[in-house]
Amino acid sequence: MIMDTTNRQTVPLLSIFVLAVVGCLPSSQRDAKPDAQPAGGANAQQDWPHYGGNLWNERHAKLTKISKGNVAHMVPRRVMQIGHVGTSFSASPLVIDGVLYVSASDGLVQAFDVRTGLRKWSFQHKLDLSAYKPSEKPGAEGARSPACCSNTSRGVAYANGTIFLGTMDAKMIAIDAETGKAKWEVWSVKPENNPDGIYGYNSAPMAVDDMVVIGTTGGESPSRHHLTAFDQESGEQVWRWHTIPAPDGSDPVAPDGWWGDFVETSAYGQKMSHRDIEQEKADKEEFKESWRIGGGALWMPVTYDSDLGLIFVGTGNANPDMDGRGRPGDNLFTGSVVAIDAKTGKTRWYFQIEPHGLWDRDETTPPVVTMLDGRKVIVHAGKIGIMFVLDAATGEYIRMSEMFVPKKNMWVAPSETPVTVLPGASGGNNWSPISIDAGRKLGFVGAMSLEVEYTIGEDDETAEHLGRSSKNRDLGGTWAFDMETASGHFAAIDLTTGKIKWRYGSPVPFVGGVLSTSTGLVFQGESDGNLTALDAETGEVLWQFNTGAGVNAPPIAFTLDGEEFIAVAAGGSSLWGSPKGDAVFVFGLPKKWQPATKK
């Protein structure tokens, strides 16, 4: 069913601060360590120590108190302002032992004592934009890439008393979690090796064993992206994996490089009707160096399973986005879910969703590991508008869902005659992590529908960029869309059948992320400032609060001093045109006010 969103609750901005004062958190102190007590006890604590809650990125919280029966009474208990209104605020905070850590645009990280709401420290990285191509916009906002898609940070990682930050200028920084002082910082890609600043980080890193792992972002540019593992203690590079395999036998799964098998049908049975396989094979020799600038950005955090020893990642589109004439072949490993050996950094398997993709339909959402009917699986949803279930150990295709967004000309190749496509470059599911409720065997996804009109540029065999002029070297042409026509599509998907259990519609696109709970709730932010709680079984709206700024970040949950809380960053996004702000909201059930004590 489609839920009516015309009478949605909105709360005046002044009310936010009134409620925040009324609902202050208790001042009691506690000596227990993060894992010392189970959730639900009198002084229980359940942290949110990773981007997706756990290393599997399930974004599911085991709650016992915030439930369907009382969520309607939930109020803001803390409003923590970072004092910086940037181009985008899309971070998923971490909560460790009563301290909330959050990153923002321009290299900013802050830590807050959740009990008092007071800032513990603020760390500001000074961005080095010397490699970046200038534009008419000032500073980091005008940097060509990875800020092409908003100067932002999607979060930090935590391990052993250290916060790890990836920066837009391609640095990895270790910060003391107690003091906020830098322990070390290293270049991942130095300015002299970073033409126009095409490599950088706005993904959240992930702590994996004694490493911290992150992939380079920066789309729509001649590039060859990579995933790097750094030693947590020293910052030294442990290994580096490239999204585009070289044709030299170095990749154990794709020894011939990114050409692949020139497939006519995808691994899930979709005919690749947009391809001219014979022409691609004929062009292979002419464009034999195309892999060097094949793209494949890594927009979001990785997922890790320690038992399998595998890191899982979703990869971005091939370069240029919509013109495949200069990049024959399957363009491995773009548009794929890939499993990588955590110790060696070598490819173990891949599942390519769009061989030789032409529509910028990246796999931007983190893959999720979960258990389904006794089998360890990967669940993944991307811009294509389909949720896939794969075997986590082998990458074997198990099933796919019904489409959770409308479709139109979905597999029609762009040409010099404009064509309108759904889903297009914005999705589908775009930069919005999904949530998995393994107990209910449901996957939850927030997405958008936005028609995109594609037109490729004229072929230019004399151009320096593999037959592409400088004008068309990034996109391969032009695209056009009208955000006023965008709409939001939320779906609960039965993972055992692929059937959509229920839908929830919105006049604004869902770009943020999902949180589910064991008490049968699902939380999703919206660009108009709403954070919404839905019934996981029916999709009924149970609670809604307007933060005054776009909620373009995923919510989290944690337990502190026996109470349960939902937190989310509300700061909007220039890219999506949502209202700006600078606050992290912490919601909980009402409680009589008592003065907070500084620690």
Which token pair is 579? 């209202």
Please state the rounded mean pLDDT for residues 8-14: 36
* Band (599; pLDDT cuts 50, 70, 90): low
Q: What are phi and psi of 280, to 5 degrees?
A: -60, -45
Burial of 415 (0-12, 13-18, 19+ CB in 10 A): middle
Residue 39: pLDDT above 50?
no
Amino acid letter for position 492: A
Q: What angle do CA 527, 528, 529 make, to 5 degrees?
A: 90
For residue 91, give the nearest of 451, 463, 512 by alpha carbon: 512
| Least trusted range by pLDDT, from 124-133, 433-442, 462-471, 568-577 | 462-471
Q: In DSSP terms, which residues pair with 206 in a beta bridge?
A: 213
| Least trusted range by pLDDT, from 47-56, 130-139, 159-168 | 130-139
Taking a C-beta distance cutoff of 8 angstroms, is the pair 354, 420 a contact?
no
Residue 406: pLDDT above 60?
yes
| pLDDT for position 195 | 79
Which token pair is 18? 């009134």
For each of the domains in the chain, give its residue range(s) and CATH number, in order of start.
245-293+300-430+434-511 (2.140.10.10)
| pLDDT for position 197 | 81
Q: Determine the Cα–Cα distance for residues 66 and 563; give it in Å rounded to an integer.
A: 9
| pLDDT for position 148 | 63
| pLDDT for position 77 | 97
Question: In this predicted model, what pLDDT tens digit does every residue of 292-335 receive, in sequence order?
Answer: 999 999 999 999 999 999 999 999 999 988 999 999 999 999 99
Q: In DSSP terms, which residues pair with 101 in a beta bridge?
A: 94, 111
Residues near 286 by Cβ (< 8 Å), separated by ≥ 6?
Answer: none
Residue 273: pLDDT above 80?
yes
Q: Determine the Cα–Cα distance for residues 42 and 562; give it in Å rounded to an integer.
A: 5
Q: What angle do CA 43, 44, 50 make, to 5 degrees?
A: 140
Taking a C-beta distance cutoff of 8 angstroms, is the pair 433, 444 a contact?
no
Question: In this predicted model, what pLDDT tens digit does every residue of 46-86 receive, in sequence order?
Answer: 999 999 999 999 999 999 999 999 999 999 999 999 998 88
Q: Provide the whole-model pTM.
A: 0.91
| pLDDT for position 43 | 39
Q: Determine the Cα–Cα distance for residues 160 and 178; give it in Å rounded to an integer.
A: 11
